[in-house]
Amino acid sequence: MKDAVAISQYVDCDWDAENMFEAGEHVLLSSLKITQLKKHERRIFFDELEAAKRSYDALPIKKLQDLAVSGKDLMAFRQKPSGKWIAEELDFVKKAVLQNRLENRKEAIEEWLKACDPQLEND
């Protein structure tokens, strides 16, 4: 039932890297099949599914744990205690990595966060 709800949320979706990441491969391909069946009189175009699978496979990360930094890394880097800011910052990093604006390496992420936050350069 949980899969059906997730799949239905992505039917007719505009698939960008972030939507693919959030949905996951199974939901991506299943919802694409449903969308194709709705639009193309019960026909599935396997070349479109294969292209979507290749796009998903090319994502730099597939789950949040694939990020080169964790919440603990951010706390050490920022020298701040745990808090809501960690989830927000991980989301910020995740989006940049998915959009290929940031390489998924710990050092690159720390440098990028410094550039995004001038206060860190003065510490």
Comparing 57-61, 72-76, 86-90, 114-118, the range with the smallest average pLDDT is 114-118
- Asked if 69 contacts 93 with a C-beta cutoff of 8 angstroms, the reply is yes
Predicted confidence at residue 38, as pLDDT, reads 87
Residue 3's pLDDT is what? 85
- Residue 52 to residue 28: CA distance in whole angstroms: 8
pLDDT of residue 119: 52
pLDDT band at 121 (very low <50, low <70, confident <90, very high): very low
Q: What is the pLDDT of residue 85?
A: 94
pLDDT digits (tens, 9 = 90+) for 11-60: 999 999 999 999 999 999 999 999 988 887 777 889 999 999 999 999 99
Name the residue ranges covered by the structural domains of the chain: 2-57, 64-121
pLDDT on residue 42: 72
* pTM metric for this prediction: 0.83
Per CATH, is 64-121 categorized as 1.10.1740.10? no
Residue 43 near residue 22 (C-beta atoms within 8 A): no
